[in-house]
Structure 1
């Protein structure tokens, strides 16, 4: 199969997973994901129908330098990353950082210690289970319905207890 460069050169985001990058490329070029996957992957073994991502083919099709892809796309890193040091599930990163990456949402595989975008001071850790003053006060085990727009544990002190992840004045 002949591969060709895509007309819109889109760089990957840092710590982006391959399927996220490929989905963004396919969306920007109005093509089916399976067609793009067939161009950037190779069969795992002869007679096997499963395929694996090929970094050189991806670099050619995406019109990106291979070393940039190796640094940004988690699955292409060499040596392979310490998978136990990364979160078990991909998630979105900083919404302001991701705004400059067109084609749809950017999914990243972040390390366990990355909870805040230091550039924009935005929480990128695990989803907050205690966002209020909406109806999320119900998830606070020590809280009753808020009358002032904040739950009891946030109103009780300026600093939330270490067991909760609520933010005063949110």
Structure 2
């Protein structure tokens, strides 16, 4: 009987520790997830950029098309092994993965994980400015400042998939 009580108390303590870690360390987990998402997006963008450069080296011209049709073409021509996850915006002038408006917290966390100062962002964007040619970035006076920020978003909800 004593061993049963000890086992129940031990299980309760472990559960209590797990709950406390989730409650008090939640921001650490969120930050880690943001860093992982940032690294995944950087790696995917690097693969796409390398595929486009390879195509350019082979054909002496930029690949035709843009966005997902361009990625499908690069895949079918053998320049990409697989299409990176997400809805990428790709053409010869820009390469970015827009963040849906409902993911502003994730976008902001990615910008923070990349080491950018969120206080530079106008308050209406909540740490996630439109950048890298995304719709609305032309309206920002500091659009050039945000071009290298990893988290991008569409301003228009109609343009958001």
TM-score scaled to structure 1, two decimals?
0.25
TM-score scaled to structure 2, two decimals?
0.26
